[in-house]
Amino acid sequence: MNTVNTSPTSRRHFLAGAGAVGATALMSGCVTSSSTGSSSQSSSGTVSLQSNLSSPQAKSAMQDLIAAYDKRGGAKASLNTVASETFRTQLPTYLTSANPPDLLTWYPGSVADGYARKDLLLDVSDIWQTGELAGYSDALKKLCTDSAGAKVFVPSSYYWWGVFYKKSNFAKWGVQEPKTWDEFVALCKQLKAKGVTPIGLGAGGGTAWVASAWFDYLDIRINGATYHRELLAGKHSFTDPQVHKVFDKWAEVLPYFDPNGTALAFQDATTAMLNNRTGMMLIGTFFADAAPKDQLDDIDFFQFPIIDPEVPVAEEGPTDGYFASARTRHKAQVKDLMSYLATAEAQEIYLKGSSGTSLPTNPKAKDAGTPLVKKGRALIESAADVTQFFNRDSSDALQPTADTALTKFLAKPKEVTSILTAWQRDAQKIWSQ
């Protein structure tokens, strides 16, 4: 259940017809709340929703969403917004605390299943039988089901990854979107010759996980999505020749990366791109929630370049949404809120308040309809397979092993053999747990 693996016909049903796969102990010092958070044991019955959507537009959209829910009458909710990287590292603590939040934003698939296996998530199978969730696609239902057969997640949006750039800059520089790896390398050379740093990264400042997108895409382009998932599940070794090929290819473009790539967080790296200090960046559309809205019309992207045309083309299309703590004392209210969050109304409220660059999972919800969104939807719909992202296709516990290995590689690429040996050793400890 790592991700969605569909035929072209069922994939169109999943993405276009019925929604598709969709970019981060409550600590008071880390909370940037839109309202005062109430505990899951509140006598008022208020449901506490812990959110990692802390970029300005996403946070505002979540505030609008909870306000709309509260106006409906009945159950009430409070929103606690936590800095995304704090949320990421503290999530296991939230879920295992004596008084956890009732509901949390996060991811479905194998990462949710990892928490469900520890009996930390609430079984919400019943709400999938009625209301708008009943009309969701079979692919989404599978993605939100744990290995024991219980549905433990409600999806609300999905998004895509691509190599983003500013249209005005490409026009000014007289360059075109590349299709193949050779064309991509040639583009990097052109930009560097013009005095432009070709590739921004953003794997510093607590967002080292961004580098995993490069590993993911190179692996699915060279070895395919099936091998990639099996690798992350421990069925192959990071010391395999196939993995060495990934790093050999990556090394070809390292001279074109921003030297500050592992010093800047992705937010600062995207700002550098928007301010014309770098030419392009592999990133998910979530970056747009922190970008000035007046720059969105100038943003475009291209598909990660094709390396081997014989390998079926997969894309990263992560899904976002919600799971609930198994320890909540407000099960009925939590399920009511989760059912609402699955509605077309709720998802359209969120899209309107945010950058609008994500796509709704509800088949009846309308997306922003911009040229960028249409292009992104087409990218995912045309893919032969859809992966989620490194930690989502493995586990949150495995992600730090990737962060360490990839950061070391970026700093000392000639030490790749020892780096991969250490990565395999560290990953094996996680897989053996």
Domain holding 62: CATH number?
3.40.190.10
Q: Tell me, what's the pLDDT at 162?
A: 98
Across residues 283-299, what is the average pLDDT?
88
Indicate whether 83 belongs to any domain: yes
Encode 156-194 in three state secondary structure.
EEECCEEEEEEHHHHHHHCCCCCCEHHHHHHHHHHHHHC
pLDDT surpassing 80 at residue 70: yes
Indicate whether 391 belongs to any domain: no
Across residues 142-146, what is the average pLDDT?
95
Task: Provide the number of structural domains found in the chain.
Answer: 2
Indicate whether 415 belongs to any domain: yes
- 44: confidence class by pLDDT, cuts 50, 70, 90: low
pLDDT surpassing 90 at residue 102: yes
Q: What is the mean pLDDT of the chain?
A: 89
pLDDT surpassing 80 at residue 375: yes
Same domain, 13 and 154: yes
Q: Tell me, what's the pLDDT at 433?
A: 86
Indicate whether 383 belongs to any domain: no
Q: Tell me, what's the pLDDT at 290?
A: 78
Residue with tokens 């998932």: 229
Q: Tell me, what's the pLDDT at 292?
A: 83
Residues 379, 177: Cα–Cα separation, whole Å: 15
Top pLDDT among 339 and 15 is at 339
Across residues 356-374, what is the average pLDDT?
94
Indicate whether 149 belongs to any domain: yes
Indicate whether 384 belongs to any domain: no
Indicate whether 1 belongs to any domain: no
From 24-28, 46-50, 90-94, the region with the lowest mean pLDDT: 24-28
Calculated CA dihedral for residues 337, 341, 342, 343, nearest 10 degrees:
100
Same domain, 124 and 268: no
Instruction: Look up residue 303 and give its DSSP letter.
Output: P
Q: Which residues, 6 or more positions from 81, have their beta carbon under 8 angstroms from its beta carbon?
A: 31, 32, 33, 34, 51, 52, 53, 54, 59, 62
Same domain, 151 and 296: no
Same domain, 127 and 20: yes
pLDDT surpassing 80 at residue 261: yes
Top pLDDT among 27 and 119 is at 119
Same domain, 339 and 291: no
Same domain, 129 and 244: no
Same domain, 309 and 211: yes
pLDDT surpassing 80 at residue 385: yes
Residue type, 416: V
Query: 300-311 pLDDT, tens per residue?
Result: 999 999 999 999
Indicate whether 389 belongs to any domain: no
Same domain, 31 and 177: no
Q: Containing H/E element for 136?
A: none
Same domain, 218 and 361: no
Q: How many CA atoms does the CB half-sphere of 334 hold within 13 Å?
A: 32
Residues 323, 338: Cα–Cα separation, whole Å: 8
Top pLDDT among 77 and 24 is at 77
Strands 154-158 and 359-360: antiparallel
Residues 180, 309: Cα–Cα separation, whole Å: 9
Query: 171-221 pLDDT, tens per residue?
Result: 999 999 999 999 999 999 999 999 999 999 999 999 999 999 999 999 999
Domain boundary among 378, 407, 423: 378
First-to-last CA distance in the chain? 19
Q: How many CA atoms does the CB half-sphere of 372 hold within 13 Å?
A: 25
Closest among 24, 51, 48 to 36, alpha carbons compared: 48
Residues 156, 348: Cα–Cα separation, whole Å: 10
Encode 217-243 in three state secondary structure.
HHHHHHCCHHHHHHHHCCCCCCCCHHH
Q: pTM value?
A: 0.84
| Residues of the domain holding 64 | 8-159+319-378
> What Å distances lie between residue 387 and 5, 217, 301, 383, CA to CA?
8, 10, 19, 10
Same domain, 195 and 307: yes
Q: Containing H/E element for 378?
A: helix 371-381
Instruction: Look up residue 4 and give its DSSP letter.
Output: B
Q: Tell me, what's the pLDDT at 30?
A: 31
Q: Tell me, what's the pLDDT at 4?
A: 36
pLDDT surpassing 70 at residue 415: yes
Same domain, 286 and 330: no
Query: 313-322 pLDDT, tens per residue?
Result: 999 999 999 9
Same domain, 247 and 331: no
Residues 258, 225: Cα–Cα separation, whole Å: 28
pLDDT surpassing 70 at residue 10: no
